[in-house]
């Protein structure tokens, strides 16, 4: 059995898009020492691929970070497969808030140095001592206090479309950029309660431990992140302090939590909160574009990209050769 995808990515995408199979989107993470990440990577591919699991998984010495789509009829079998791995027994699974079953189109498992790029030297602080977990009611009560510092530990393009009421949302592109900024900006508030949150909890797990290492006395983070908070608040009929959409890193790009639209189209300024990628593959800019601008620019971010996208595909491929623009993200302060 080959331990990687053997079918063209576009074929896989069309297959899932046209399928009426019910699928469930879940995510989870675990900080745990994995002695041989490559061996573990191959092990889970071998056991999870036959179950029809799709998604993106990062494996490193420090643990794993998984965002998956599982055929609903295979969900129990997948949970059993997780239980067969000792350190994944009783793992908390975050279920998507909005789920059309089209979140992932292939299974990709990569070995990386870190499961989240943070720029930290983990030997300098104790990852086993993160901040205290908060459930919905505890989070609401603590963040209602005037002396509490509430921090959105996500990137600017995530918080732009949705965030908790009263949260500080640093204008950063990456988690790596955010950690030193937070520590420096809050250096005179180390005795205040500090509450942090992110999408599913993985960034706050490490960030809260890091803040404690830096001398912050009273550090908390939202258990299971925005995903679990939104589901639990709805299930238990509790007050929901989140406003707008939750950005997610899969084909959906977002989950609507409330009907509030707090963002604007990056091109015309009209209220709108759907992210998209420029269809010029050489650009692929992530930005917010309303239907009117999408029609005018034919799904691209600019007239220049519109011209490129109109060229034959073989010509576009030639233009892209040898070029790597990396991940491009729109920011009003930088573009």
CATH code for position 84: 3.30.70.100
CA distance readout (Å), 50 to 12, 31, 74, 91, 140? 15, 26, 10, 21, 42
DSSP conformation class of 131:
P
| Mean pLDDT score, 168-195 | 94
* Confidence (pLDDT) at 79: 97
Is residue 65 within 8 Å of residue 94, measured between CB atoms? no
- Rounded Cα distance, 26 and 94, in Å: 5
The answer to whether residue 248 sits within a structural domain is: no
Confidence grade of residue 126 (pLDDT, cut at 50, 70, 90): confident
Give tens-digit pLDDT for 249-258: 999 999 999 9
* Domain final position from 111, 134, 168: 111
CA distance readout (Å), 114 to 26, 37, 106, 176, 209? 21, 11, 22, 12, 16
Confidence grade of residue 3 (pLDDT, cut at 50, 70, 90): low
Is residue 183 within 8 Å of residue 213, measured between CB atoms? no
Judge whether residue 334 has pLDDT over 50.
Answer: no
Which residues are paired to 287 by β-bridges?
Answer: 276
Judge whether residue 310 has pLDDT over 90.
Answer: yes
Domain check: are 105 and 134 in the same one?
Answer: no
198 catalytic residue (yes or no):
yes
Give tens-digit pLDDT for 28-73: 999 999 999 999 999 999 999 999 999 999 999 999 999 999 999 9
Judge whether residue 233 has pLDDT over 70.
Answer: yes
- Quick one: angle between helices 37-48 and 75-83, nearest 10? 150
The one catalytic residue in 169, 198, 278, 305 is 198
The answer to whether residue 257 sits within a structural domain is: no
Domain check: are 285 and 332 in the same one?
Answer: yes
Domain check: are 44 and 145 in the same one?
Answer: no
Q: What pTM was computed for the model?
A: 0.90
Judge whether residue 332 has pLDDT over 60.
Answer: no
The domain that holds 129 is classified in CATH as: 3.40.250.10
* Confidence (pLDDT) at 252: 92
- Rounded Cα distance, 302 and 289, in Å: 11
Domain check: are 105 and 128 in the same one?
Answer: no
Judge whether residue 168 has pLDDT over 70.
Answer: yes
Judge whether residue 326 has pLDDT over 90.
Answer: no
| Start-end of H helices in the chain | 9-18, 37-48, 75-83, 136-143, 156-159, 175-185, 202-213, 225-236, 291-297, 303-309, 313-320
Q: Closest by alpha carbon to 83, among 42, 28, 132? A: 28
The answer to whether residue 249 sits within a structural domain is: no
* Confidence (pLDDT) at 49: 94
The answer to whether residue 173 sits within a structural domain is: yes
Domain check: are 129 and 46 in the same one?
Answer: no
Domain check: are 126 and 107 in the same one?
Answer: no
Domain check: are 85 and 153 in the same one?
Answer: no
Q: How many structural domains does the chain have?
A: 3
Judge whether residue 330 has pLDDT over 90.
Answer: no
The answer to whether residue 247 sits within a structural domain is: no
Domain check: are 226 and 294 in the same one?
Answer: no
The answer to whether residue 116 sits within a structural domain is: no
Query: Which residue segment(s) compose the domain that 223 sits in?
Result: 122-231
* Confidence (pLDDT) at 333: 44
The answer to whether residue 243 sits within a structural domain is: no
Judge whether residue 322 has pLDDT over 80.
Answer: no
* Domain final position from 111, 141, 168: 111
Domain check: are 74 and 158 in the same one?
Answer: no
Domain check: are 149 and 93 in the same one?
Answer: no
The answer to whether residue 237 sits within a structural domain is: no
* Confidence (pLDDT) at 230: 97
Domain check: are 103 and 134 in the same one?
Answer: no
Domain check: are 280 and 312 in the same one?
Answer: yes
């Amino acid at each position: 059995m080959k331990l990687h995808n053997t079918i063209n990515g576009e074929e896989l995408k069309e297959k899932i898009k046209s399928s009426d199979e019910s699928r469930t989107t879940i995510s989870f993470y675990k900080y745990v020492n994995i002695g041989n990440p490559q061996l573990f990577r191959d092990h889970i591919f071998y056991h999870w691929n036959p179950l029809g699991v799709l998604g993106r998984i990062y494996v490193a010495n420090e643990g794993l970070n998984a965002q998956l789509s599982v055929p609903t009829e295979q969900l129990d079998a997948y949970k059993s497969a997780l239980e067969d791995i000792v350190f994944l027994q009783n793992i908390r699974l975050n279920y998507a808030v909005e789920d059309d079953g089209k979140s992932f189109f292939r299974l990709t498992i990569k070995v990386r140095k870190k499961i989240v790029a943070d720029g930290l030297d983990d030997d300098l602080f104790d990852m086993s001592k993160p901040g205290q977990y908060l459930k919905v009611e505890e989070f609401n009560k603590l963040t209602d206090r005037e002396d509490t510092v509430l921090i959105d530990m996500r990137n600017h393009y995530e918080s732009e479309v949705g965030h908790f009421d009263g949260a500080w949302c640093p204008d950063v592109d990456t988690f790596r950029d955010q950690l030193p900024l937070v520590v420096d900006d809050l250096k005179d508030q180390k005795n205040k309660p500090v509450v942090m949150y992110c999408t599913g909890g993985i960034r706050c797990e490490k960030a809260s431990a890091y803040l404690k290492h830096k001398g912050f006395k009273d550090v908390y983070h939202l258990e299971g992140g925005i995903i679990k908070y939104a589901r639990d608040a709805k299930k238990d009929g509790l007050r929901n302090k989140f406003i707008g959409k939750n950005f997610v890193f899969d084909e959906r790009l977002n989950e609507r939590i409330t009907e509030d639209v707090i963002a604007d189209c990056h091109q015309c300024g009209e209220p709108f909160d759907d992210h998209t990628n420029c269809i010029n593959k050489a650009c692929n800019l992530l930005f917010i574009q309303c239907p009117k601008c999408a029609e005018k620019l034919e799904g691209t971010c600019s007239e220049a990209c519109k011209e490129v996208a109109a060229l034959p595909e073989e010509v576009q491929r030639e233009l892209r050769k040898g070029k790597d623009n990396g991940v491009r993200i729109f920011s009003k302060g930088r573009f």
